[in-house]
Amino acid sequence: MKLTYCILIILSYNLLCSQNRSIDSLKKYSYKELQEKFYDYNYDGQPEQSRMIAQYYIAKSKQEKNNLQIAEGYAFMCVNENERDALKYIDSLAELTKNSKENIYPTRIYLLRANIYFKFNDQKKALNNYIIGLKYAKQNNNKRQIALAETNIAYLNSYIGKDSEAAKVLRYYLDNAFYLTENELEKIRLNLADCYIEINNLDSAKILISRGLGAFKNKKTYRYYQYLTLAGFYNLRLKKYQLAINDLLLCKRYFLATDDIRNKNYTLLYLGKSYTGLNENEKAAESFVKIDSMVHKNNYVFLELGEAYTYLIDYYKEKKDKEKQLYYIERFLKINQMLDSQFKYVSRELPRRYDTPKLIHEKETIINELKNKKKIFYFSLVILLLILLILIFLYNKSKKSEKQYRKIAQDLIQKVQADNRIHLPIESQQQNSFNTIEQENIKDKNTSVISKNVVQAVLKELEIFEIKKQFLNKGITLGNLAKKIKTNSKYLSEIINTHKGKNFAAYLNDLRIDYAINKLAESKKFRSYKISSIADELGYNTEQAFTLAFKKRTGTPLSIYLKEIEKMGR
């Protein structure tokens, strides 16, 4: 007795020292790193390690009086505790965050409560809290929490046998919820693979299972054995019973050493059914009896549980063991009553409180989308009509302008032809025009400070400039022309402004364009030149400068003038 007592003291001391060393090793990590470690341990099925981190986390945050991290600590503490203590931690979290402005609250409270109720087999309360949590998540427009609520509701749908509906939701979030963590996505993959097996979509299930086994094969952790259980279930469905048994025996050894009630039960259920397939009835009964002992201990019930009891009832009936047959009949009736209560409630409330509102929301969304499409259609139609009207207006305006341009061009051509009929050379036309303007200006403009002799001399030089068509030369400027006629730029500019009624640039352009009007009308060869060549002959540096000057002088584009010449020539 004393020896046993001493051994217990030594073991307790060693355990305490080991825990202290583990806690000391956590001191080097930041809050974020501790969070990552907690979730990794938790999802890898290592509750003791994750519990130790949670305890250290909350102690550290309380010591530092960091309320934000204390809240995280409470959320961690509820994960691996019994139902009563877990709910107490959630109540503490609710009290601490009741005035929080973070958009994760109060949704987080309801989702955590729902997870605890689901874990401890109270699907009624789990559903109620998921529905309330989903409502707040939508109010806060928190996509991540909406996804968590809806995927957990999908797990409830799977619980009552609606695996097809559950699979649709899980597939959507697996493909679209980039805002979920990898651990959360892995949980979706596992449950989706399970749903696929239930609805006989075995090819899709195989893809997910193979991926999972490949990803976790080297680690041989909790996730690996979850996928291995599904591999056993998959082979059971294919009636490859021995393959299923080989995998499930490994899973049985692993999960019986953990606190994972759900995976223990399902592993034993699939194992028992696989033995049944091989007619190894005693081994099948052994698996189902083990399930009953666990259910008796923790009251964890699930939809397929009835299969274990009906098998045991028939098994002991065949063995003529009345006592055990009666025992399992009574157990089955009790379990069936529990299942019936849970199943009926969830089956009734899920469609009423989740599926129906969701469908109504989808209906309203579709109606709004259709309304918006109609609005967009009518708006687009109005825009198109406006564009059409503008195009019609611009077309009519263009046609009207073109008609006016043609009329101007025709008048110009007729004037040129009329001048040609009386055999008036271009030089004479320009000279007469010049003389008329000159005489008028000499009469009207006598306020210039320039002497009359200088004016007369400059005008004479300009007359020669026009007659000899020197205006066709390139590079003519006010300065070099003034130098040529032996005056200064200022005098020349003033005389042109006074006696020609325009500045030097306009005077030069008008001479060139007037020449072009006549030359183009008279000479077919000249018309056959490229516009750039015509511009060059007229002294312009660019084609654009010529066409702009032509339209400004005549009021009609050069192209229309040329077309009208050709028409009238025919």
What is the per-residue pLDDT for 352? 62
Rg (CA), the chain: 49
Per cent of the chain over pLDDT 90 is 40
- For the ranges 253-257, 380-384, 462-466, 559-563, the maximum mean pLDDT occurs at 253-257
Phi, psi at residue 62, to the nearest 5°?
-70, -40
* Per-residue pLDDT, 23: 65
Question: For residue range 268-278, what is the model confidence (pLDDT) as tens digits?
Answer: 999 999 999 99
- Note whether 412 and 517 are within 8 A (CB): yes
Residue 471 is given by DSSP the state G
Q: For 495-530, what is each residue's pLDDT tens digit? A: 989 888 889 889 888 898 889 888 888 888 888 889
Amino acid at 85: D
CA distances from 318 to 113, 271, 313 (A): 45, 21, 9
Work out the pLDDT band at 11, boundaries 50, 70, 90.
very low
Q: Is the pLDDT of residue 2 over 60?
A: no
pLDDT at 13 over 60: no
Query: Mean of the pLDDT values across residues 536-557?
Result: 88
Could you identify the residue written with the tokens 């009086």?
A: 65
Average pLDDT, the chain: 84
Task: Return d(Cα 18, Cα 27) in angstroms, integer.
Answer: 15
The predicted model gives 162-170 an average pLDDT of: 94
Rounded to 10 degrees, the C-alpha dihedral 490/493/495/496 comes to: 170
**What residue ranges do the domains of the chain occupy?**
419-569
pLDDT at 445: 47
Instruction: Answer whether residue 200 shows pLDDT above 60.
Output: yes
Q: If you average pLDDT over residues 43-59, what whole number do you get?
A: 88
Span of 362-376, 392-406, 417-431, 548-562 with lowest mean pLDDT: 417-431
Confidence bin at 361 (pLDDT 50/70/90): low
pLDDT at 454: 86
Which among 412, 405, 424 is positioned nearest to 517, based on CA atoms? 412
Digit-coded pLDDT (tens) for 219-245: 778 899 999 999 999 999 999 999 999
Q: Is the pLDDT of residue 406 over 90?
A: no
Q: Does 194 have pLDDT greater than 50?
A: yes
Q: What angle do CA 545, 547, 551 make, to 5 degrees?
A: 120
Does the structure show a pLDDT above 80 at 50?
yes
What tens digit of pLDDT does each residue of 451-466 get? 888 888 888 888 888 8
Report residue 45's pLDDT band, with 50, 70 and 90 as the boundaries. confident
Percent with pLDDT over 70 in the chain: 86
Where is pLDDT greater, at 68 or 398?
68
pLDDT at 148: 96
Chain segment 304-334, per-residue pLDDT in tens: 888 999 999 999 999 999 999 999 999 988 8
Segment 96-124 mean pLDDT: 92
Q: Is the pLDDT of residue 186 over 70?
A: yes
What's the pLDDT at 301? Answer: 84
Residue 482 — very low, low, confident or very high, per pLDDT cuts 50/70/90?
A: confident
pLDDT the model gives residue 77: 92
pTM (two decimals): 0.62
Alpha-carbon distance of 428 to 518, in angstroms, equals 13
pLDDT bin (cut points 50, 70, 90) of residue 492 is: confident
Q: Is the pLDDT of residue 347 over 70?
A: no
pLDDT score recorded for residue 520: 84
- The yes/no answer on whether domain 419-569 falls in CATH 1.10.10.60 is yes
CA distance 159 to 182: 24
CB atoms within 10 A of CB 461: 18
Burial 51-88 (b: 16+ CB within 10 A, else e): bbbbbbbbebbeeeeeeebbbbbbbbbbbbbeeeebbe
Distance CA 94, CA 97 (A): 5
208 alpha carbon, distance to own chain's centre: 26
Give 397: exposed, middle or buried? Use CB within 10 Å, 0-12, 13-18, 19+. exposed
Q: What is the tens place of the pLDDT at every residue in 420-447?
A: 655 444 444 444 443 444 444 444 444 4
* 9 or 282, higher pLDDT: 282
